[in-house]
Amino acid sequence: MSKPEEPSPFKALDAKLKAARSRRPRSRRRAGGDNEGGVHSGIGIGMRMATEIVAAVGVGVGAGLVLDAWLGTKPWLMILFLILGCAAALLNVVRTGKEMDRQAKERKEKARHDAGP
């Protein structure tokens, strides 16, 4: 029963979809995209950067303490590795920032590509 009628519901659906798409204002679509980025930039980025810093400094201090206990150079390696850990934390933050930049750019490109045709 449905066989001969098959194309028509799809066509109707297609027309409906097209109508809905054209009805949806473009500005709202963009606002939605921005909002998504807003969530990312809010809690997401903050937590990501914070954990990157804490983890790198933590690993640095931990490695320093372990090496100190092993080599018997009580505070010195810990201090050295604390500084190195801070440097690694900065490196991590810069890398994360670059990564997020790349993703944001890609998303923007994709959005433009989607909006084009």
For binding to other proteins (CB under 8 A), which residues are involved? Answer: 39, 43-44, 47-48, 51-52, 54-56, 58-60, 63, 81, 84-85, 87-89, 91-92, 95, 99, 106
Short-list 51, 53, 55, 80, CA closest to 66: 80
* Single-letter amino acid code for the residue at 91: L
For other proteins, the closer CB: 16 or 95:
95
Q: How far is the CB of 82 from other proteins (least distance, A)?
A: 10
25, burial (CB in 10 Å: exposed 0-12, middle 13-18, buried 19+): exposed
Q: How far is the CB of 117 from other proteins (least distance, A)?
A: 19
For other proteins, the closer CB: 8 or 22:
8
Rounded-to-integer distance, Cα 6 and Cα 67, Å: 73
Q: How far is the CB of 59 from other proteins (least distance, A)?
A: 4
For other proteins, the closer CB: 2 or 27:
2
10, burial (CB in 10 Å: exposed 0-12, middle 13-18, buried 19+): exposed
